[in-house]
Amino acid sequence: MDIPEREFGFNTRSLHAGAHPDPATGARALPIYQTTSYVFEDPESAAAYFNLQEYGNTYSRIMNPTVAALEERIANLDGGVGAVGFASGLAAQSAAFFTMLTPGDHVVASSALYGGSITQLKHLFRKMSIELDFVDPDEPRAWKSAIRSNTKLFFAETIGNPGGNVLDIEAVAAVAHAEGIPLMVDNTFATPYLCRPIEWGADIVVYSATKFIGGHGTTIGGLGVDSGDFDWSNGRFPVVSEPSPAYHGLKFHETFGFYGYLMKLRTETLRDLGAAMSPFNAFLLAQGIETLPLRMDRHVHNANIIANYLNDHPVVQRVSYPGLDASPYKELTTKYLPKGPGAVFCFDIPGGRDAGLKFIDSLSLFSHLANVGDAKSLVIHPATTTHRQLNDEELTGAGINAGTIRVSIGIEDAEDLIWDLDNALNVISSTSASTSAS
């Protein structure tokens, strides 16, 4: 009996995509293939694998069955043609850059990025002799005005870290595509459950899987997903379309079609830079994805409650959560993030740096550490930690001042989180009152 075709829902695919019962043992859980290498069928097959004439496992720096299952799952959830796993989010990001850029190229990037991304762009690109301009991500005209004849990439985040800017993906993609430029989006804060940038015109999506995808603060990893829609043979990208000296003149885009960029990302960039994801990390991240929809619903539910509580608190000066009714990003949130704009946001308190650090020191449930997307609630002072390398102008562009606090709202009981925040805010209020009195 033929089984009718069905397009499965996101929850179902989070559990099943990319993984099947192990054919050798029948194991239902994803096996951890903890191996460096693989026995070839014969010398001819080995040669064909290394010449990219056949596709198969050669060495775990380049591909591994456990990592492959995670790659297939994230590509399925994101609507991409495929994905490549890396040792970290920044490794995935830098590999995506290396695969398409050459010295003398120009990149236009959002100014509202994670501090580590800004630092990577500024300093890595300088070493690569790549030119860079940061623009206001909220202004499509700013993106257009920054384009040069050598511009090869637009780069932004779905939800800016930590300012909470929501990117108008469709508008920015239209500007990029009109000039034959790809749009690359870091979708870490949204995950494919809340937003799938490829559906709105993004060409490449990258993730720090360390965050919500893993979900438990145990595992470092990164992923790059390709839409398969961009024309790498449009004349701007000879590094992808022209003969590769690393593979005896192979033309990646001509040979592999919509897999061309992914194949180059894996078989050249990952192979040569070596930032491979470990099989055990891939196993843990795949386990995390199985509960991604459930966790994200709870994260967003709690974040909305906490953001509104802080917004109404007399001590808090500003809350930058795009889900608030008064947020300038409310309309974009409704369009791109209908289930909610994630669970990471900032708020400002009076008293500058000293007050910010005092506030953090007064918390008991929130963990003070440099991560987001954990099931547990987290807090940090960006100006002195995650964005410390930025100058004052760059901090302002990222929506950060001396009294800015970033929180990552977990899946605890919201009432308990409010209790913790309230206690810390009362300490700040008491300190401010005593200072004024003296």
Q: Which of 242, 257, 288 is the endpoint of a domain?
A: 288
- Measured over all CA atoms, what is the biggest interatomic distance in the chain, rounded to whole angstroms? 84
pTM over 0.75: yes
Are 183 and 302 in a shared domain?
no
**Arithmetic mean of pLDDT over the chain:** 92
Residue-wise pLDDT tens digits, 37-76: 999 888 888 888 888 888 888 899 999 999 999 999 999 9
Name the strands in the sheet holding 183-186, side by side, starting at the edge strand that comes first in the sequence: 82-86, 222-226, 204-208, 183-186, 151-157, 106-110, 131-135
Are 223 and 369 in a shared domain?
no
Are 144 and 225 in a shared domain?
yes
**Residue 379, strand partner residues:** 368, 407
Examine the pLDDT at 20 and tell me if it is beyond 90.
no
Domain that holds residue 419: 292-437
Residue-wise pLDDT tens digits, 87-137: 999 999 999 999 999 999 999 999 999 888 998 999 989 999 999 999 999
Question: In percent, how much of the chain has pLDDT > 70?
Answer: 95
Residue-wise pLDDT tens digits, 191-250: 999 999 999 999 999 999 999 999 999 999 999 999 999 999 999 999 999 999 988 899
Structure tokens at 211: 């965050």
Domain count, the chain: 2
The b/e string for 2-27 (b: 16+ C-beta within 10 A; e otherwise) is eeeeeeeeeeebbeebbbeeeeeeee
Q: What is the pLDDT of residue 328?
A: 95
Q: What is the pLDDT of residue 168?
A: 98
Examine the pLDDT at 433 and tell me if it is beyond 60.
no
Q: What is the pLDDT of residue 389?
A: 63
Examine the pLDDT at 434 and tell me if it is beyond 60.
no
Mean pLDDT value of segment 354-370: 92
Q: Which of the two residues, 390 and 424, has the higher pLDDT score? A: 424
Q: Work out the pLDDT band at 156, boundaries 50, 70, 90.
A: very high
Q: Which of 288, 304, 327 is the endpoint of a domain?
A: 288
Are 367 and 230 in a shared domain?
no
What CATH number is associated with residue 52? 3.40.640.10
Task: Determine the length of the chain.
Answer: 438
Are 151 and 180 in a shared domain?
yes
Give the integer Cα–Cα distance in Å for 296 and 192.
10
Q: What is the pLDDT of residue 301?
A: 98
Question: In percent, how much of the chain has pLDDT > 90?
Answer: 79
Are 347 and 205 in a shared domain?
no
Are 328 and 193 in a shared domain?
no
Are 333 and 425 in a shared domain?
yes
Examine the pLDDT at 382 and tell me if it is beyond 90.
no
Give the integer Cα–Cα distance in Å for 292 and 228.
25
Q: What is the pLDDT of residue 1?
A: 60
Angle between helices 414-437 and 292-312 (to 10 degrees): 30
Are 198 and 138 in a shared domain?
yes
Has residue 274 been placed in a domain?
Answer: yes
Examine the pLDDT at 398 and tell me if it is beyond 70.
no
Has residue 219 been placed in a domain?
Answer: yes
Examine the pLDDT at 383 and tell me if it is beyond 80.
no
What CATH number is associated with residue 303? 3.90.1150.10
Has residue 4 been placed in a domain?
Answer: no
Q: What is the pLDDT of residue 4?
A: 82
Are 430 and 326 in a shared domain?
yes
Q: What is the pLDDT of residue 438?
A: 45
